[in-house]
Amino acid sequence: MDDALLALEDGTVFEGRSFGAREHRTGEVVFNTSITGYQEIFTDPSYCGQIVCLTNPQIGNYGANEADCESGKPFIEGLVVREFSELASNWRSSERANDFLARHGIPVIGEVDTRKLVRKLRMGGVLRGIIGVGGVDREELIARARQAPSMAGLDLATRVSTGNAYSWSETVEPCSPSERIGKTRPAEFKVVAYDFGIKRNILRRLTHAGCQVTVVPASASAEDVLALNPDGVFLSNGPGDPEPLEYQASQVRKLIGKKPVFGICLGHQILGLALGGKTFKLKFGHRGGNHPVLNRLTNKVEITAQNHGFAVDADSFADSKVELTHINLNDHTVEGLRHREEPVFCVQYHPEAAPGPHDSHYLFDDFISLMKESKRS
């Protein structure tokens, strides 16, 4: 087995062993603190352009399967772990995680001191890096890491978005006989979902809640969306910096007041821009399944799944028509907002929780309620 190196733009080099694909890949190095759900992380389009370090010390031990994919392929640029298991033991596993990543060209560096790496990223902020395999020159790798594109100012949403509109009908299925998820409701509402890097479990949750979903590209105009005569519009998660998405924000602005709108993650940031707000890059982002968020409408705390490196600036909303509804209890950044007069709301975190807790599933019901009220009026 080949040796591997992780070189960072600040000149730091981590040594390890190569798994997955024997390729060199660059990206912004970030970390995720989730305990389970590594395959969902691999295949989340929001990780496009990023090398992901997982803090759980053993990864790969329950293998991989098609059902846990959040998209058609992995979108991470590379993977950094402490221990990468080449054995898979799980009744749902259809192949080893190593084979899954190798088949899709994703390099993995294992046997890395991930605690040291995460501490560096938390203290100094995320860094560009590169995974190199085999006999590679360290200085050359560092130079290549410094040449990698910065995430700030990078439009990745249009890169990962679908090229054509399509319908979605798959609903939520239990992963085990003991899991209780409730019955799928009849499809009473037509929803158009913008794909900025949408996850499959979001689509499943919308269908489960009673939506007939049509997914449209990130380039779809407001006129295209309204021509489909939806009962509501959904804005998805996705990768990259929200600020370059001026066209998308302008189209969402046209939809406000005409249809109920619900946004998640990047969709939340785009909606924030459409409402006159601004966004900024976080030092090391929020990525994991245990982030506490205060719902200011109920005064309850939700444990949430998160994956984002940018946030909406709370101080940028001079318009009193925007109400901040959710706040992160770790760093007090904005986690949710709504329009005081129009049926428009969004959250920064992932209520579909794949992987993660289920505290925030109610948000899909809130979207249904807005569409019901809008149809009655």
pLDDT tens figures, 220-256? 999 999 999 999 999 999 999 999 999 999 999 999 9
Write down the pLDDT at residue 179: 61
Residue after which a domain boundary falls, among 87, 112, 147 = 147
> Is 152 part of a structural domain of the chain?
no
Q: Is 191 left (phi over 0), alpha (psi -120 to 50) or beta?
A: beta
| Residue 261 contacts residue 275 (beta carbons within 8 Å) | no
**Domain containing residue 36: CATH number:** 3.50.30.20
State how far the Cα of 374 lies from the Cα of 259, in Å rounded to an integer. Answer: 8
**Contact between residue 45 and residue 160 where contact means Cβ atoms under 8 Å apart:** yes
Active site (annotated) includes residue 140: no
Distance of CA 334 to the CA centre of its chain: 16
- Picking from 147, 170, 203, the residue at the C-terminal end of a domain is 147
Q: Which domain holds residue 340?
A: 157-376
Do both 143 and 197 map to the same domain? no
pLDDT the model gives residue 173: 75
pLDDT at 172 over 70: yes
Q: Cα separation of 348 and 269, whole Å? A: 7
pLDDT for residue 43 is more than 70: yes
CB of 82 closer than 8 Å to CB of 58: yes
Report the predicted TM-score, pTM, of the whole model to 2 decimal places: 0.96
Task: Spot the catalytic one: 208, 268, 308, 350.
Answer: 350
The reply to whether 28 and 55 lie within a common domain is yes
Residue 185 belongs to a domain: yes
111 within a domain of the structure (yes/no): yes
Kindly state whether residues 188 and 138 are assigned to the same domain. Answer: no
Work out how many domains the chain is built from and give that number: 2
According to DSSP, the β-strands at 78-80 and 107-110 are parallel
Q: Are residues 49 and 189 in the same domain?
A: no
Q: Are residues 169 and 38 in the same domain?
A: no
Average pLDDT over residues 257-261: 97
Residue of 48, 69, 265, 346 with catalytic role: 265
- Rounded-to-integer distance, Cα 161 and Cα 174, Å: 27
Name the DSSP letter for residue 348: S
Pair 244, 339 in one domain: yes
Residues 98 and 166 in one domain: no
Does 7 reside within a domain?
Answer: yes
Based on the residue annotation, tell me whether 77 is a catalytic residue of this protein.
Answer: no
**Burial of 228: CB neighbours in 10 Å, binned 0-12, 13-18, 19+:** middle
CA distances from 259 to 145, 205, 250, 256 (A): 44, 20, 15, 6
